[in-house]
Amino acid sequence: MDENKRPEEVEENCDALDAESKVEGAAEKGALCVDALETHDVFENAEPWDPIETKVVLGSFGAALFLLALFGYLIHKFLLT
């Protein structure tokens, strides 16, 4: 079982695999190889950020901070005193 192997044994198995089999069969064989992971740019096809979206996000944070302060005051005023 690959699950019960020591890290050194898993590393030796990764070294024994060629590059193609690392990518194709790493998941089935249970090998923990860094070479089996492929990286890609997650922002490659992202749509541009509109200025209105910035205003919405900042407005949401502002409203959240205001309501947090308001509820904190109300809890202090009516429940804790």
Q: What is the mean pLDDT of each run of 10 residues along the chain (81 residues)?
A: 53 53 55 63 87 97 98 96 84
Q: What is the pLDDT of residue 31?
A: 56
Whole-prediction pTM: 0.47
3: DSSP letter? G
The position carrying tokens 């030796």 is 12
Closest CA to 13 of 33, 43, 35, 28: 33
The answer to whether residues 2 and 31 touch, using CB atoms and an 8 Å cutoff, is yes
DSSP helix/strand/coil, 32:
coil
Q: What is the pLDDT of residue 1?
A: 47
